[in-house]
């Protein structure tokens, strides 16, 4: 696709506007956090005497060390458990297409469109009946239930787009149902799973409503619960609130950057593979089953292009 000079200039202008719109709130948070505690800064103004001690005061007053540890424990429970439940469910709904899969998909769709505020009371009662109220496990179970419909739809879109010839070729080569899932489709889904894990991490870390409803102990809530420490009975300490918000999002930004690089690496790794393609005669026996997703994809693409029958040999080191 050839783009003109004006189209490239317009794209750069739009990109610049989006960057400014994204960065201005963070700049405002940072500048406001440097104002004297207890004041109400007017607009985006740099203070005459920056109070860098606000960050230390916010960290100590909100007990952020405990809250960051609690948030990490909740994330380590929610993200793996959600992926473990969503991957097989999405594979069954998107690739196997069993009898009644549309009805099951409709139930997940209902869970996807329900507003969280409408199910807070039922979730509270269920967690209370399970004896998990005021525990991290109760919060983990509730967050998994909230995130599971979106995770299933996210991964189902991937599994539904995988060519069925990959599974057929694996079955012909002797792979069983679990081998097809674990050795063919699961490696293909790794980029989708990585991006989903990033979204689940961000949503779990920033979650606030269920954390304050299901957990009474502030030390067992997510990091977003720390922001309530700066809200008193008669007012809110805005500079300390902004300093606390910056402290809370800093580790999230670091982890997000690291996982984003991992997703990019997975995408690049899926696009390339150390192999060589050779012709084989029609009467030669097939090779034993070797699972390599990129090889299967290349064989399928070459078949669609009308090439001769091909096989893939492992490159010798």
Averaged over 99-106, what is the pLDDT? 88
pLDDT band per the 50, 70, 90 thresholds, residue 153: very high
Its pTM surpasses 0.85: no
What's the CA gap between 202 and 193, in Å, rounded? 14
End-to-end CA distance of the chain: 40
Do residues 33 and 246 make contact, with C-beta atoms less than 8 angstroms apart?
A: yes
Place of tokens 């996807």: 112
SS3 labels along the chain: CCCCHHHHHHHHHHHHHHHHHHHHHHHHHHHHHCCCCCCCCCCCCCCCCCCCHHHHHHHHHCCHHHHHHHHHHHHHHHHHHHHHHHHHHHHHHHHHCCCCHHHHHHHHHHHHHCCHHHCHHHHHHHHHHCCCCCCHHHHHHHHHHHHHHHHHHHHHHHHHHCCHHHHHHHHHCCCCHHHHHHHHHHHHCHHHHHHHHHHHHHHHHHCCHHHHHHCCCHHHCCHHHHHHHHECCCCECHHHHHHHHHHHHHHHHHHHHHHHHHHHHHHHHHHCCCEEEEECCCCCCCCCCCCCHHHHHHHHHHHHCCCCCEEEEECCC
pLDDT digits (tens, 9 = 90+) for 233-284: 555 788 888 888 888 888 888 877 776 666 566 555 444 433 333 334 444 4
> Over the chain, what is the mean pLDDT?
79
Question: Would you say 134 and 268 are in contact if contact means Cβ atoms under 8 Å apart?
Answer: no
How far is the C-alpha of 58 from the C-alpha of 36, rounded, in Å?
13
Torsion of Cα atoms, 26 then 30 then 36 then 42, to 10°: -40
> What proportion of the chain, given as a percentage, has pLDDT over 70?
77
Mean per-residue pLDDT, 133-151? 93
For residue range 4-16, list pLDDT tens digits in order: 788 888 889 999 9
Mean pLDDT of 129-156: 92
Question: What are 301-306's contacts with CB under 8 Å, separation 24+?
Answer: 302/277, 303/165
Q: What is the mean pLDDT of residues 61-76?
A: 87
Q: Is the pLDDT of residue 194 over 60?
A: yes
Rounded to an integer, what distance in angstroms lies between the CA atom of residue 3 and that of residue 249? 38
Mean of pLDDT values over 78-94: 94
| Predicted local distance difference test score (pLDDT) of residue 178 | 87
Cα 148 to Cα 80, 107, 137, 184, distances in angstroms:
11, 12, 16, 23
Under a CB-based contact definition with an 8 Å cutoff, are residues 74 and 140 in contact?
yes
Residue 231: what are its φ and ψ, rounded to 5°? -110, 110
In sequence order, what are the beta bridge partners of 312? 277
**CB burial string 104-121: b at 16+ within 10 A, e below:** ebeebeebeeeeeeebee
Rounded to the nearest 10 degrees, how much is the dihedral formed by the CA atoms of 1, 307, 291, 87?
Answer: 40
């Amino acid at each position: 696709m050839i783009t003109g000079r004006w189209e490239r200039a317009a794209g750069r202008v739009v990109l610049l506007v989006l960057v400014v719109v994204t960065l201005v709130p963070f700049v405002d948070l940072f500048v406001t956090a440097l104002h004297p505690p207890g004041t109400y800064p007017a607009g985006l103004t740099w203070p005459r005497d920056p109070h860098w001690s606000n960050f230390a005061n916010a960290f100590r007053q909100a007990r952020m060390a405990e809250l960051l540890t609690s948030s990490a424990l909740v994330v380590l429970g929610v993200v793996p458990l959600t992926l473990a439940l969503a991957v097989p469910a999405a594979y069954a709904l998107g690739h196997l297409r069993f009898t009644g899969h549309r009805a099951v998909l409709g139930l997940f769709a209902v869970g996807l469109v329900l507003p969280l505020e409408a199910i807070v009371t039922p979730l509270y009662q269920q967690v209370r009946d399970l004896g998990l109220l005021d525990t991290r496990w109760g919060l983990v179970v509730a967050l998994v239930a909230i995130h599971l419909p979106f995770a299933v739809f996210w991964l189902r879109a991937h599994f539904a787009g995988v060519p069925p010839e990959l599974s057929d070729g694996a079955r012909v080569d002797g792979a069983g149902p679990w081998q097809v899932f674990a050795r063919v489709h699961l490696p293909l889904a790794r980029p989708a799973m990585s991006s989903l894990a990033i979204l689940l991490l961000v949503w779990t870390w920033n979650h606030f409503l269920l954390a304050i409803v299901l957990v009474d102990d502030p030390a067992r809530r997510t990091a977003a619960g720390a922001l309530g420490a700066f809200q008193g009975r008669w007012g809110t300490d805005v500079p300390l609130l902004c300093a606390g918000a910056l402290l809370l999002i800093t580790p999230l930004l670091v982890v997000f950057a690291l996982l984003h690089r991992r997703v990019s690496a997975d995408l690049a790794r899926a696009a390339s593979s150390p192999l060589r393609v050779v012709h084989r005669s029609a009467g030669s026996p097939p090779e034993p089953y070797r699972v390599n997703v990129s090889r299967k994809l290349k064989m399928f693409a070459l078949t669609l292009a009308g090439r001769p029958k091909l096989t893939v040999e492992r490159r010798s080191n």
